[in-house]
């Protein structure tokens, strides 16, 4: 028998209870090795549908499928021992009806082991959030800039300036009233994000929404500087791994071309001869 108690992983009620206490630390993860890194330092590993753009080179998140989210969700859950996985419901998998949303959310949870899903939308998704929550599906909501609506919003811009602010506030409150256990505020003006955070009893998790939210989320590849070309303005880069990787690959290519690539220390060639 093991002498050490198993580590209990974080669950949606723990996240809900964090309101007004220590800030929530959230990063995206799409693979097992990155999930292991995130698990050591974060409360939540978000399997975002940004995976389509970040790992699959898609021009937007609209082409991401339920099967992709299940595959990446499984990989991430395997890498976690304490942080909670939340899986994005992809475009077209939940908007039609609460029943469609339940069917697909149940697949995401049962086939990956993740204890919660995230979906985009405010007031118009409230019935769906209530339907899911009542049937054992904890929902993280997502308002402000909702990237799956990029074509109706007309781009990836700030949402909630001037008269739009009332709609974002109403959307956030509707999600809370419907039972969401937390809510992402993406690219919402800093003052508005602060007001929503003060009004809501559930934690707000900001991305490009300022420091007054109850937590922050970033796309892990962005904050690690894994891209050498694309740089979202609001993201601080905590490393420049893209540059480091580029240099390492350039060094390797130069050594192969110059035939200075090191011979294996274990004398592989001799073993082959025997
Ligand atoms: O898909 C994603 O990574 C997200 C975060 C940016 C919040 O939804």
214-266 pLDDT tens trace: 999 999 999 999 986 667 777 899 999 999 999 999 999 999 999 998 888 76
> Ligand 1, closest atom to CA 28?
3
Residue located nearest, by CA, to atom 4 of ligand 1: 48
Determine the straight-line distance between the first and last CA of the chain, rounded to whole angstroms. Answer: 47
Q: Which helix (H) or strand (E) holds 249?
A: helix 241-257
**CATH classification for the domain delimited by 12-273, as one of 1.10.3720.10, 3.20.20.60, 1.20.1250.20, 3.40.190.10:** 3.20.20.60
Q: What is the pLDDT of residue 227?
A: 80
Active site residue 186: yes
Q: pTM for this structure?
A: 0.93
pLDDT per position as a tens digit, 103-152: 999 999 999 999 999 999 999 999 999 999 999 999 999 999 999 999 99
Residue 269 has pLDDT above 80, yes or no: no
Residue 154 has pLDDT above 70, yes or no: yes
Pocket test for ligand 1, best of 35, 184, 185, 204 (most atoms within 8 A of CB): 184
Q: 258 C-alpha vs ligand 1 centroid, how far in Å?
A: 43
Alpha-carbon gap, residue 240 to 54, rounded angstroms: 16
Instruction: Answer for the pair 213, 183: CB distance below 8 angstroms, yes or no.
Output: no
Alpha-carbon gap, residue 35 to 53, rounded angstroms: 18
Q: 220 C-alpha vs ligand 1 centroid, how far in Å?
A: 10
Residue 269, CA distances (Å) to 150, 233, 245, 258 in order:
56, 51, 29, 20
Domain boundaries, the chain: 12-273
Q: What is the pLDDT of residue 73?
A: 98
DSSP 225: T
Pocket of ligand 1 (CB under 6 A): 28, 46, 48-50, 88, 184, 186, 207, 217, 219
Q: What is the pLDDT of residue 214?
A: 98
Q: What is the pLDDT of residue 74?
A: 98
Pocket test for ligand 1, best of 46, 54, 120 (most atoms within 8 A of CB): 46
> Ligand 1, closest atom to CA 118?
8
pLDDT per position as a tens digit, 44-58: 999 999 999 999 999
3-state percent helix, strand, coil for the chain, nearest multiple of 5: 40, 15, 45
pLDDT per position as a tens digit, 63-87: 999 999 999 999 999 999 999 999 9
SS (H, E, C) 62-115: CCCCHHHHHHHHHHHHHCCCCCEEEEECCCCCCCCCHHHHHHHHHHHHHHHCCC
Beta bridge partners of 212: none
Q: 97 C-alpha vs ligand 1 centroid, how far in Å?
A: 22
Q: 68 C-alpha vs ligand 1 centroid, how far in Å?
A: 15
Residue located nearest, by CA, to atom 1 of ligand 1: 48
Q: What is the pLDDT of residue 6?
A: 66
Q: Tell me which of 67, 96, 186, 240 is the catalytic residue.
A: 186
Q: 28 C-alpha vs ligand 1 centroid, how far in Å?
A: 7
Neighbour tally for 36: CB within 10 Å: 17
Radius of gyration of the chain (CA): 21
> Ligand 1, closest atom to CA 120?
8
7 or 224: which leads in pLDDT:
224
Q: What is the pLDDT of residue 234?
A: 79
Alpha-helix runs per DSSP H in 188-233: 190-199, 220-223
Q: What is the mean pLDDT of the chain?
A: 94
CA-based nearest residue to 220, from 40, 71, 90, 82: 40
Alpha-carbon gap, residue 190 to 208, rounded angstroms: 8
3-class secondary structure, 177: helix
Residue located nearest, by CA, to atom 5 of ligand 1: 48
Residues 164-190 have a mean pLDDT of: 98
Residue located nearest, by CA, to atom 8 of ligand 1: 48
Q: What is the pLDDT of residue 273?
A: 53
Q: Give the start-end residues of each E strand in the chain.
A: 24-28, 44-47, 84-88, 116-120, 139-144, 182-186, 204-207, 215-218
Residues 204-213 have a mean pLDDT of: 97
């Amino acid at each position: 028998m093991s002498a050490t108690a198993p580590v209990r992983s974080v669950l949606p009620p723990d996240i809900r209870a964090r309101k007004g206490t220590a800030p929530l630390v959230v990063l995206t993860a799409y693979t097992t090795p990155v999930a292991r890194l995130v698990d050591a330092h974060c409360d939540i590993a978000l399997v975002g549908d940004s995976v389509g753009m970040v790992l699959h080179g898609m021009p937007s998140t609209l082409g991401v499928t339920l099967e992709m989210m299940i595959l990446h969700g499984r990989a991430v859950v395997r890498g976690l021992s304490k942080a909670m996985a939340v899986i994005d419901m992809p475009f077209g998998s939940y908007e039609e009806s609460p029943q469609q949303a339940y069917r697909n959310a149940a697949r995401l949870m049962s086939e990956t082991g993740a204890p919660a899903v995230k979906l985009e939308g405010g007031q118009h998704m409230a019935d769906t959030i209530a339907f899911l929550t009542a049937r054992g599906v904890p929902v993280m909501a997502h308002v402000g800039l909702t990237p799956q609506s990029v074509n109706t919003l007309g781009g990836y811009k700030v949402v909630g300036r001037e008269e739009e602010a009332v709609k974002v506030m109403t959307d956030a409150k509707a999600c809370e009233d419907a039972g969401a256990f937390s809510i992402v505020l993406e690219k919402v003006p800093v003052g508005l994000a602060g007001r929503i955070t003060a009004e809501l009893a559930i934690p707000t998790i900001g991305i490009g929404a300022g420091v007054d939210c109850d937590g922050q989320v970033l796309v892990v590849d962005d904050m690690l500087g894994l891209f050498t070309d694309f740089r979202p303005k609001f993201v601080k880069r905590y490393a420049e791994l893209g540059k480091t990787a580029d240099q390492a690959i350039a060094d390797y290519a130069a050594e192969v071309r110059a035939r200075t690539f090191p011979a294996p220390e274990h004398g592989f060639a001799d073993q082959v001869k025997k």
